[in-house]
Amino acid sequence: MRIGCAMPEYRFYTIDKSGHITRPPEGHDLPNDAAANEKARRLLDDRDIEIWQGSRVVVYLVPEQKAG
């Protein structure tokens, strides 16, 4: 990591069954997409999570019980 460089902020949106955002996004300062993906997978419950970094969608995660 370079000194003086801030980590990118990722926003985690929780999505309900009808595709609506359920609450304000959670912001997380993480080093990269892989770290954001790993953190979101630990937070998954019965709702989907969509991760954004700036204006870019990083990933849309669906809990395993729904994906199968």
Local confidence pLDDT in tens for the 68 residues of the chain: 455 667 899 999 999 989 999 999 999 999 999 999 999 999 888 899 999 999 999 999 999 876 55
Q: Is residue 16 assigned to a domain?
A: yes
Range of the domain at 29: 9-67
pTM over 0.85: no
In the three-class reduction of DSSP (H, G, I as helix; E, B as strand; rest coil), residue 39 is classed as helix
Instruction: Give 56-67 pLDDT, tens digit per residue.
Output: 999 999 998 765
Q: Is residue 4 assigned to a domain?
A: no
Bridge partners of 21?
15
Q: Is residue 17 assigned to a domain?
A: yes
Q: Is residue 44 assigned to a domain?
A: yes
Q: In total, how many domains does the chain have?
A: 1
Say how far apart CA 27 and CA 65 lie, in whole Å: 26
Closest CA to 16 of 58, 49, 42: 49
